[in-house]
């Protein structure tokens, strides 16, 4: 069976490796250049994501990509008072793994390198323009005129999936949330943090973690107007960082000090919400990762869900002779879980929006919300891919 994977980011590369492990062969077509960035500064692989990599024989990838372990969250308000926590000190005992913070580009590069070393073919600068599904397979036509005939096509091409748009022209399109995410890392002498630190600032939400002389930071910038595609790709960093510092002026320590030390942001990325899709697959085309269920960064599960999808779909394709039966099995195993996490991330994102009345209510109610979400978090972390295949 010839499998074409459109998208060579985390989801697509993890799937290529999972297929290889399952005795199947996939080739990858990636729209960006070989050295192109896939967007984002850093991410957290949750314990379930770490376990999913282990199930694929890739348990050493997080450390090889320079990741560091971090468990739990502390939440503070604009006055610096801790208003809630999600302890993570027992994650190793409970789930067999702790969360890992990674630079997104390093994780993607590590997966691509492993896949290519395993013999997976990658084609870069491959922009998909047309998909023609027929009884015997799918024909993919690219902007450079290249034509690929495959038995099945997997769309692993993110929230703005071309595969989704070409296959389901009437499917929901991503909706801008009014938030631009930005962040990076900077050298700074702060004690290592045992947990990620989250601060509901006066005008914007801020998060950070310190490890080995570096502070990894992000902020959610309120931005009413939806940026045009590519508008934020070439920022005037001096002006952008001045605006970010002004946004967090007066917020509790060490937020202003972190931003004073940060010379630039690695980038800025509008945050989009993708509503539930009616279908994830046809007879020959299937979506995975953000193309099927784009999770808000607030969920902390986007990359983990992508790796889980890859492992489960590869197992379904290995075990089912007919692609459509494999796709049905995949959706049955994955849809409820993924969409529940997407809904949770949406609710968390909504609570980051600041207002005087809303902030007071949030400060009072956050401990209750966290207790309500703790059970859901435990169910997310306890999920094991090897029990689903």
**Same domain? 317 vs 339:** yes
Q: What stretch of H or E contains 257? A: helix 255-261
230 and 320 inside one domain: no
pLDDT at 360: 58
Q: How far apart are CA 87 and CA 72, in angstroms?
A: 5
289 and 220 in a common domain? no
Residues 293 and 165 in one domain: yes
Are 254 and 200 part of one and the same domain? yes
DSSP 183: E
230: domain CATH number? 3.30.9.30
Domain boundary (272, 306, 322) is at: 272
For residue range 348-388, what is the model confidence (pLDDT) as tens digits?
655 555 555 456 555 665 666 666 655 667 788 899 987 55
What pLDDT sits at residue 343? Answer: 86
Mean pLDDT of 123-144: 96
Question: How high is the pLDDT of residue 376?
Answer: 63
Let me know whether 241 and 283 are in one domain.
Answer: no
Q: Residues 168, 182: one domain?
A: no
Mean pLDDT across the chain, nearest whole number? Answer: 91
Are residues 154 and 302 both part of a single domain? yes
For residues 106 and 116, state if they share a domain.
yes
324 and 367 in a single domain? The answer is yes
Whole-number Å distance between alpha carbons of 205 and 55: 35
Between CA 333 and CA 330 the distance in angstroms is 5
Question: Could you list the residue range(s) of the whole structural domain that residue 298 is in?
Answer: 2-174+274-387
| pLDDT recorded at residue 160 | 95
Q: What's this model's pTM, rounded to 2 decimal places?
A: 0.93
351/207 Cα distance (integer angstroms): 14
Residues 143 and 217 in one domain: no
């Amino acid at each position: 069976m010839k499998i074409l994977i459109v998208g060579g980011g985390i989801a697509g590369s993890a799937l290529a490796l999972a297929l290889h492990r399952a005795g199947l062969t996939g080739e990858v077509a990636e729209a960006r250049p070989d050295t192109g960035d896939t967007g984002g500064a850093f991410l957290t692989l949750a314990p379930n994501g770490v376990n999913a990599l282990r199930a694929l024989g890739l348990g050493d990838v997080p450390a090889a990509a320079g990741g560091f372990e971090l468990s739990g969250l502390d939440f503070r308000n604009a006055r610096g008072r801790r208003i809630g926590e999600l302890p993570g000190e027992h994650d190793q005992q409970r789930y067999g793994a702790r969360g890992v913070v990674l630079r997104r580009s390093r994780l993607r590069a590590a997966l691509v390198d492993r896949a290519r070393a395993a013999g997976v073919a990658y084609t870069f600068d491959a922009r998909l323009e047309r998909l023609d599904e027929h009884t015997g397979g799918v024909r993919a036509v690219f902007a450079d005129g290249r034509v690929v005939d495959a038995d099945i096509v997997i769309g692993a091409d993110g929230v703005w999936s071309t595969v989704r748009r070409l296959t389901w022209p009437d499917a929901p399109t991503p909706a801008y949330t009014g938030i631009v995410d930005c962040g990076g890392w900077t050298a700074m002498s702060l004690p290592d943090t045992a947990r990620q630190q989250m601060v509901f600032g006066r005008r914007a939400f801020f998060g950070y973690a310190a490890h080995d002389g570096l502070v990894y930071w992000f902020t959610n910038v309120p931005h009413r107007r939806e940026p045009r595609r590519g508008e934020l790709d070439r920022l005037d960093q001096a002006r952008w960082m001045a605006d970010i510092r002004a946004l967090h002026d007066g917020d509790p320590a060490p937020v202003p000090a972190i931003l004073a030390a940060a010379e630039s942001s690695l980038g800025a990325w509008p945050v989009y919400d993708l509503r539930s899709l009616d279908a994830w697959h046809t007879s020959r085309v299937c979506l995975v990762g953000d193309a099927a269920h784009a999770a808000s960064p607030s969920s902390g599960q986007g990359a983990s869900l992508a790796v889980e999808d890859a492992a489960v779909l590869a197992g379904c394709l290995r075990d089912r002779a007919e692609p459509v039966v494999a796709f049905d099995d995949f959706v049955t195993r994955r849809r409820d879980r993924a969409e529940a996490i997407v809904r949770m991330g949406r609710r968390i994102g909504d609570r980051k929006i600041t207002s005087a009345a809303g902030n007071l209510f949030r400060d009072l109610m956050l401990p209750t919300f966290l207790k309500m979400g703790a059970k859901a978090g435990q169910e997310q972390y306890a999920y094991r891919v090897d029990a689903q295949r």
